[in-house]
Each structure stands twice: as C-alpha cells, then as structure tokens.
Structure 1
C-alpha cells in the first residue's frame, strides 16, 4: 500500500535532495509499471497518463519547432494578452528576477509568446528549448505547469520529477490560465519557472493572483469598448425607433451596447463566423447584420421566430482545449464555442437522451444532488443560446432533434479539465 499523494506541503517539510529523490522514485516506478514509494498527486498521475497515450518520449519529449519571427510577432499583436503585459511584468518580473525565475506567457495553444526575468535562467531555458515561439503543450513536452494548466483550466504547480520528461526534472514551475472575460475563451497561461531548488509554495498563489488582476483589467477594457460602441450606435437607433423597428447594437462578442423596440438582451449568441447580410440568430430569428466600428447593428426581421425548429446538433468534445456546438436546420446553421461547464452539461444530456432532472444533473456534475440552483442557472444561460434545441422537465435535447456526439479517440482525453463524476466515469 502506498503513502498518501505527495503534496507540496509534504515536499516543503523535506529537504530539497530528499524530496527530489522521492519524486524521482515515484516517476521511475510509474514509467516502469511498478508500485511507487508514494502516490503522485491526482493532477500529475492523470497528466502522465495523457502524455504517455500521446507517445511523448520521457527522455527527450517531442519537438514542434519554433514559430517564425513573423508568426510570433503576429500572434503577439493579435493576442489580447499584449494589453496586459505591462501589468504582468510589474506584478511578476521583479519577483521572478530576484528569485532566479523567469516569467513566461503563452497563447491558448501553449506557444511561448513572451519571456522575461533572470538572464541566467533564460540561458538555461534556452538549452531546454524553452524559448519564445516554442510549444510547451502537454502533448509536445509532457507534464509541465503550462501544458497541464492549459488542459485542466486550473492553476497548477509542477516540481522536479513531477515533470514527465527527465530533462525537466531540474526545474520547478507554477502556472495559471488566463481567460477572456468577454466570452470565457482561454487566452493563454502565465507561468513562473526556475531551478527546482528555488521551489516556494507561495509562488502559485502569486501567479494566480496576478493573473486574476490581469483578467480584471481586460474586463475594464471591455466595458470601456462597450461605452464607445454605445456612443456610436445610440444615435443610429434613435433615428429608427419606429413602432415596428427592433434593433440591437452588439460588440464582436455579442454583448449589448444599445437597443430599440425590444427588451435588451445581455448578450446575443453570434455564430463563429459573422458576416454582413441576412442571418438566422438564436432567440432573434431572421435578422439583418450591418458592421459598426467594434461590433454589429442587428435589425430583427418582422418574421421573428425565436423557436424556429432546428433539426441537428453536433457536439464536438474531441479536442483537449476547445469544444463546440453546431446547430442546423431549415432556418440555417451556426456554431459556437462552449465554456467548460456548458461542455460538461451538453455532454451529459447527449448521453441521457431521455432527460435528467436538476438533481440528477447536479449529481452528474458535482457529485452533490443538492446543487440544483447552480445547475438551473447554467441551463438557463444555455437555453437562451439554444432556443428550440433544449427542453426542460426534464432537461433534455428537444424531441425530433438529431444529436451527434464527437468524442476524442482516447477516452483519457475527454474533457480533461473536468472532475465531474459523469465525465470521470466516461473516461474509464
């Protein structure tokens, strides 16, 4: 029988050499299929399983090549993270430099976009290929704080031999994902890395706190852009405020800036590809879209039919970090990226076509049948976007709707961020 999982608190109580030896023994036993001297943390053991399934070499990892200088600069310029780099540097680089660490910021694919901090540590990182433009995703370099945070959508610290690839065992790293507050999209990861001997339990808390501050800054910038759009759209809507005119001005993510002739929605569900002209939108029906600086003017047609029947839904959860729902029918089709929670909910409903009660869904998602308030709130948001697709009493896909569920080839890759009991059971 093995000891309890190795936590950072337990490692902190040991000497650096003793903890390194213990983790190395756990790592080697796991690779050999032997009983380890102690159990690795769950987040680490699940990551090791994923990267082994992806064929990552524990000695050298895999190599995806560096981005070209032009592609690297393009990604920097197009990423919202560029707007908060001064804040991230102010909050982390000084601390990283003093502590012999580096700060690394990646995009949502795990590509290193920015790197700053100790010059000596940056030189050591270069020898590992841990350079700007490199991919630090799990399926390329194995278990590491950046790649594992991208998959789990949660802050994580990875120390020494918890890294899957042996050449990384001299390192410790702590990373937190950074999300776009406009739509919940994963923008990238903020990481602090350095020599394993410099491990400190507070590093993860620091990285997480600074990342949350950066998300708050992005939220403020978003609302400022909404105000600018409102100033442009309000005079346009005032001139068309007739008895039968219904229109709404939204930003590129569907957030409402101004409205006339209808109740103001918080947000309009826009398809992945928006274009000028006629388009069918959930909850609004047939609409006409016109571009505005920073958004769209949506004129709602007289044939408005929020419940226009949709006949087919494709739920794609086959990728590790992006999940989509595509809805199609006689009125048209559209696709939308899903948040982690909505991906879990739709996955469970796709498994149970007969429907689930709020208590059953709470058990499926949280292992607690009492959390019905949370379930109902999330499903209310989902049903606003999926009008005519989801029914209730019980919650289910509507009768007559064809549902296709696209899963990953490997069961271990199914919604890897999720700890929902229903998803864990499906992975097994």
Structure 2
C-alpha cells in the first residue's frame, strides 16, 4: 500500500519514513540540493530552510518562557481563554485522558498555553518539552504543525520524520491558526499531537472546523458585549501595573532576583542570607512566625538576629520589587515569588523530564547550611533523580550520570548499562565506573 505522505509513489509507509529521515540527514549535512531532499513535500522543505536560517538546533529543547503565576495570569487574559470549553468539547469528547492524542492551544508567538488530553501521551510528549509555557514557534524548535501553521497562517500537518527536530520525529501533528474574526490578526493556534491518527484527512478537517468555530464564538461574544453596552464598544481600562518575580537559586551561592513589570526588567544579585529568607517565604506562602522562620534559616530561634536582617531585606526590595516587601506577624510575601527550583518540580509533574533536567543548573543554594534550604535542596534533587530513573531515556540518564549528583550513583550507572545496546562503546566506561564504586 502506498502512502500519501511518501516522497515517491507506490512506496510503503515504513520505507517512506526512512526516505524522509535520509533526506533530513542530507539537508542537515549541508546538501539541500540532494535528490532525496527534493522528494520531500515542498511545505516541509521550505520550513526546514526557515528553521536552518533561524539557527535552530536539530535536537534543541523548546524554550520555557511562561511559568507559574506569570503563565496563569497570561492565560486568564488571553482571548482564547473564553473558548477553551468549546475546544475541549470539539476535540476531546468523552474520555479525553484515554484518547491517544493531546490537544494544545498556543498564542500567536507559539507559546503553548494549554496542553490537555491523553495522560500517557502527555507524559511522553512532555519529555520533548511539549508542555505549557514552552515556545513551539518555527524559530524556536523548527518544523512542527503549531509553529509552521503560525508561520504560514493556515492549517498544516507534519508527520513523524518531517519534523526538523529529531526529538519530535516520533510524533505527528495537525494544527490550525486562529484569527481575530474582525481584524484577522493572528490570535493563536490549535494543535492535535499523537500517532498517525493525528494526521489523517479527518483530523485536519476537524481541527480546521474547530478553529473556525472558535472564531465564530469570539465574534458572537463580542457582538453580545456591544449590544449589552447599548451599541458602544466596552470601555477598556488600563490594567494595574503588575510585577512578576523570579528567584534563581539552582547552582548559585548568591541568588539572582529577577523582577519584570510594566515593560521594565530588573535583575539583582542578593546576599546568601536574603536568598535563604526569600526562598523560605516562597516555599511557605501561607506565612511564617518569626520563630519558625528563624529556625528554618538559622537552625535556632534567634528572632533578635532575624528582625534586623528583615529590615535590611525590606530596604533592598523596596526600590526594585515593592510587591515582595514582606509583611510581618506572620512574615509573608504579599505577591507570589516564583523560584527556578519549583519550576523544575512543576516540569517533572507534567512529565517534561528532559526539559526539567536541562533547567536543573545544580543544587539549590549549594553552599547554604540553612536547615530549610537543605530540605528544599534535597527534595528537588530526589524528585529529579526518581523521575529520571522511572521515565527518562538512556541519553538523558547518561547526561545525568555525568553531573555531580549522578556520577557516583550506582543505581543510575547500572540502569544506563541495562538500557544501552549490547555493542554500545559506552558500556566499557560505565562498567569501569561501577567497579570503582564497588571497591572498598
């Protein structure tokens, strides 16, 4: 049986996949004029060329651009938030968690805002970074249905080996852009990702129809709002200035506090003690008494030492992040403070093990002896290790085995050895490392 995706007529699907894979390798090797590349669909060749021109890596992980409270706030105000129930009803009817596909909705920049559907598939696709907050535009990860649909402004299907990024090639996807029903400005993209069932003609018809239905619903809602306002356009009030803050502690002795608000970005390196206090308040969002915070930071209830330190911390925060100046009785942060440590845990929860490992820059405040910091440090380390052992592929496990956390981990080394092919040249080095660990 021939394949409609085949670069040559009367070629079986498996052979077609091999031909496209070879064409992909020739293209990346600098041979775009090779006959095999010429056989690939034009829409794919053109996308590969744009990806190459954007210097996209052939195994690049997508950038994580929206996280935590920032992601939640952005989703709430995005125009597509109001039509998510319609998207779910049309593309994920019945038992969505056993549908065999995942449905993603992203913004006009290619950032995924919602990723829902089959739980097992979400776990697998999460390993390549297909999770909320990551950027899947063509200039970020190369050829993919959501990114290419946004680039072309029309629905696109990308099957397996046609993806520019090798990490994505086990999957197939169909995506359609969503436009503003009046201005035709690009609002975002709807994508269905899975196996071959995600790239059937019926799948493209369904995704296209969903995008058109969404545009229709947006127009109806807008007309109703105008009618309710007596024919006048609703008054748009400028939202209050908001600050988003991130505390970067992974692999850093002195944390970096990043604050973004009203188009202004500020990054300040703070002292080790202030980093410990902010981390504890970020972890314990309900607040802490002076005694409890002292015990977490100093290992004993020295409130006399803590109070002047809190005064100094307030002086540091007031000019750059007034929304983070702690209140007292109990000590609490008035605004959410995200941390890179919590982002790693969030990625692990979503099955994005490869992205979580890439985001893990090292232990939390490695030189800190604070009891509370030590607990957070160990919980992140163990969560990452356990997730990688349970779910990660051998390439990620080998990379973990080369880190300070993994190089002397006998269980990790033995698991890598078990997963490697029998003739892999990497086996000898692993055996030698395991034998050294076993020596008294």
**TM-score for the superposition, normalised by structure 2:** 0.49
Q: Which has the higher helix share?
A: 2
**TM-score for the superposition, normalised by structure 1:** 0.50
Q: Which has the higher strand share?
A: 1
